[in-house]
Amino acid sequence: MLNIGAIIGAGIFVLLGVAAAAAGPAVILSVIIGGFVAGFTAFSFVKLSSHVAESGSQYIFVKKMISPFAGFITGWVWFFENMIAGGVLSLGLANYVVTLFPNIPLLFVAAFAPILLMIVNVMGIKESSLLNAFLVVLKISVLLLLVILAFIPTSRLHPEFYQPFMPNGWEGVLSGAALIFFAYIGFGRAATAAEEIKNPEKNVPLSIIYALAMSIILYLLTSIVTVGLIGYKKLADSSSPLADTIKYGLNFTWLEILVSIAAIAATASVLLATIIGVSRMMFAMSRDNVLSNSLSKLHPKFGTPYLTIIVAGVVMATLPFLGTLRQIASVTNFGALFIYSMINASAIVLLRKKKSKETIIPISGLGVCLALMLFLDWYAWIIGIIWIIAGVLYYFIKRRNSVDNFNRQKP
């Protein structure tokens, strides 16, 4: 539930439109390519999480397999990616709230949502997991309903909407894949809470495989159906593409409302899982003393790392004011693909140590992650690289200071 909660969200409910604008009807291929890249990385996650069962996942994996410095940079980019993803999710959520209630200001909702979920989260993971489970069931059911109703009583898909299939060629398809990749981010989320999961060596890998397989299938069906119902141009023009698919393609008002509710639930559940993930990762890193120690303080009543949760919520609430959906999503995906490259590199180290023939899989994973990054918008690269440089500086300054302190304390 935690993994699916973290996967199905703004990607399919909102960014499908942005990706369709880039790829045309071939957004269907973009969805497959994105799933393929995620699948390779999921293999590496599975190998690593059955080897290391400690909360903090990406950061811990890279730290143990490559070096503490590489681990730190991975964790550093991970915050960045997840906080910015929080901005995409808040904006996506707000788009659907505005579909239902056109009088409420979009940015108000986008800022309010992370703050509300931050409060739920400070109150403890138990309450959050229950809410998450409910939201997960709702979003899956609605996506399935949309797919089923497109065929019942007879198919309502328009074959002409699939032609021309690739109006912007392969470059469009790959840019679409680089954008829709957002829809797959989060499949490793259970690994960030490994210490809170029973029998993590077995259950974390299983959860990654099930959650990713389910989302690939659901996304594929949804993209085929939405393109066939309203055509890619309408999808591209929409900031709430699934609600518009129903409005123009199926014309069931009740389902349009239900999809909007599910989209709000989906983006909220991913946002919730993102805040949980960010706070647990910050906790793991500050416990290791690579981030300020005060961040790992637990709340006296709820026992949650409340300071890290509050930082995450406040940053996410500010982002929707700073960029468009496509811009924030591209920057998020830069971070995600960077981290997944590091994960694949860590799996290469692990499998080489074991002299396993499977090493070729993470090698291919690393290749496809880097290749997909080339199709991201240029500003995503600039912002991402600036963040990485800031991380490198922070790491060495903090290390120098602690060496100085250590020398001063020596008699």
Query: Which residues here bind ligand ALA, judged by CB under 6 A?
Result: 7, 9-11, 85, 89, 182-186, 270
Q: Which of 108, 112, 91, 130 is nearest to 13 (CA)?
A: 91
292 close to 77: Cβ distance less than 8 angstroms: no
| Nearer of residues 65 and 180 to ligand ALA, judged by Cβ | 180
Q: Which residue, 70 or 213, is less far from ligand ALA as judged by CB?
A: 213
Residue (53 or 83) nearer to ligand ALA, CB: 83
| 16/339 Cα distance (integer angstroms) | 23
In degrees, to the nearest 5, what angle opens at C-alpha 22 toward C-alphas 17 and 26?
85
CB of 186 to ligand ALA, least distance (A): 5
The tokens for 191 are: 């690994």
Q: What sign results for the dihedral spanned by CA atoms 318, 319, 322, 325? A: negative
The residue number with the shortest CB distance to ligand ALA is 9
Residue nearer to ligand ALA on the CB measure, 192 or 296: 192
Compute the distance between CA of residue 102 and CA of residue 149 in angstroms, rounded to an integer.
26
CB of 333 to ligand ALA, least distance (A): 10
How is residue 163 annotated by DSSP? Answer: -
Q: Give the closest residue to 165 by CA, choosing from 176, 151, 150.
A: 176
Residue number with CB closer to ligand ALA (179 or 347)? 179
Q: How far is the CB of 184 from ligand ALA (least distance, A)?
A: 6
Q: Minimum distance from CB of 271 to ligand ALA (Å)?
A: 8
- Minimum distance from CB of 83 to ligand ALA (Å)? 12
Question: Crossing angle, helix 325-353 and helix 16-23, to 10 degrees?
Answer: 90
Sign, CA dihedral 349-350-351-354, equals positive
**At its nearest, how many Å lie between ligand ALA and the CB of residue 266?**
7
Q: Which is nearer to ligand ALA, 227 or 270 (CB)?
A: 270
> Is residue 152 classed exposed, middle or buried when 0-12, 13-18 and 19+ CB atoms within 10 A define those classes?
exposed
Q: What is the dihedral of CA 358, 362, 365, 370, to 10 degrees?
A: -150
User: By C-beta, is 24 or 277 nearer to ligand ALA?
Assistant: 277
Output DSSP code: residue 194.
Answer: G
Q: How far is the CB of 267 from ligand ALA (least distance, A)?
A: 6
Q: Is 1 helix (H, G, I), strand (E, B) or coil?
A: coil
Q: How far is the CB of 183 from ligand ALA (least distance, A)?
A: 4
Q: CB-wise, 270 or 372, nearer to ligand ALA? A: 270
